[in-house]
Amino acid sequence: MTAPIAVHAYGPGPDQFLEVTLPAGHVPVPVVVVLHGGFWRARYGVELARPLAADLAARGWAAVAVEYRRVGAGGGWPTTLEDVAAALDALPDVGRAGEHMAGRLDLSDVTVVGHSAGGHLAVWAASRGRLPDGAPGADPRVRVTAAVSQAGVLDLDAAVSADLGDGATVGFLGGTPAEVPDRYAAADPARLLPTGVPVLCVHGEQDTTVPLEQSERYRAAATAAGERVEVLALPGDHMVVIDTAGEAWRRTVAWLDARRTSIPDSTTLEP
């Protein structure tokens, strides 16, 4: 049984909030941040993340579902990236807010899980330490220790070439790679390697919305940078990876569990 959801505003806007669901008990537990997808567009919201967060909390994690500004509602470049960074960096304050939250968030173990565009944002969040000063999301307060991309958009140049989401990447960043190269350099996970952060890419083999090639291209870029990224390809479409009753989610949780039992001691960048 999970504790009631606590809502925390990390900014002044109506879409700048996160929801925390805790497992029963009083001891500190590792954190999994869930970022929903929707090609960075306002049509889709945090409701896509809530079932995953509830399932994770029932399994013993502190689950944090994040809402953020999207294209069409104040999002895009740079605000979407700034919101994800701000939500993560608010976690130390969230962990001190209220008697039921005090001491429950173990910020030495913070995994970010994201679907589709949320997969992009999850792996980008794990890459924040690579960002130059002044870039959106640079100088992270909280260090991400692992990331899971569920059918994520991880190579933005290839996403533009394939016109994924009918121009979604160009709409998100406000131009093509040729028109706004600095934005792609700061937002594209495939360009922000190596990170030193373990990444699992879970992808449906029949996904036509974000093809499996996206995960495979990211793995190739990571390998070239001297890192190992695991790609788990399973039968199914774009949505199979977020079915909490399905095999893809079972395998994802198993990967998270394995990390929980073996993670070395680490700390946040700033308490």
Q: What does each of the 271 residues of the chain score in pLDDT, given as a tens digit?
A: 465 578 999 999 999 999 999 998 889 999 999 999 999 999 999 999 999 999 999 999 999 999 999 999 999 999 999 999 999 999 999 988 766 777 899 999 999 999 999 999 999 999 999 999 999 999 999 999 999 999 999 999 999 999 999 999 999 999 999 999 999 999 999 999 999 999 999 999 999 999 999 999 999 999 999 999 999 999 999 999 999 999 999 999 999 999 886 554 433 333 2
Cα angle 136-89-219, degrees, rounded to a multiple of 5: 65
CATH number at residue 125: 3.40.50.1820
Pairing mode, if any, of strands 62-67 and 199-204? unpaired
Residue 15 tokens read as 């879409």
Would you say residue 1 lies in a domain? no
71 and 171 Cβ atoms separated by less than 8 Å: yes
Residue 23 tokens read as 């497992």
104 and 28 Cβ atoms separated by less than 8 Å: yes
CA 177 to chain centre: 23
**Number of domains the chain is built from:** 1
Would you say residue 238 lies in a domain? yes
3-state secondary structure of 169: helix
- The pLDDT assigned to 264 comes to 45
Would you say residue 36 lies in a domain? yes
CA 209 to chain centre: 18
Would you say residue 245 lies in a domain? yes
Q: How does DSSP assign 65-133, residue by residue?
A: EEE---BTTT-STTHHHHHHHHHHHTHHHHTTSSTTTTT-EEEEEEEEEEETHHHHHHHHHHTGGGSPT
Would you say residue 159 lies in a domain? yes
- The pLDDT assigned to 271 comes to 29
d(CA 115, CA 15): 18
Residue type at 151 in one-letter notation: A
- The pLDDT assigned to 146 comes to 98
Would you say residue 270 lies in a domain? no
d(CA 60, CA 66): 19
Rounded to two decimals, what is the model's pTM?
Answer: 0.94
Phi, psi of 135, deg, nearest 5: -75, 150
100 and 3 Cβ atoms separated by less than 8 Å: yes
62 and 240 Cβ atoms separated by less than 8 Å: no
- The pLDDT assigned to 6 comes to 87
How many other CB atoms sit within 10 Å of the CB of residue 64? 29
Q: What is the gyration radius of the CA atoms in the chain, in angstroms?
A: 17
d(CA 176, CA 183): 9
Would you say residue 271 lies in a domain? no
Residue 67 tokens read as 């809402």
Domain enclosing residue 199, as ranges: 6-262
For residue 41, the 8-state DSSP code is B
Pairing mode, if any, of strands 29-35 and 62-67? parallel
- The pLDDT assigned to 269 comes to 33
Residue 209 tokens read as 């919305």
d(CA 102, CA 106): 11
Closest CA to 34 of 187, 235, 193, 249: 249
Would you say residue 268 lies in a domain? no
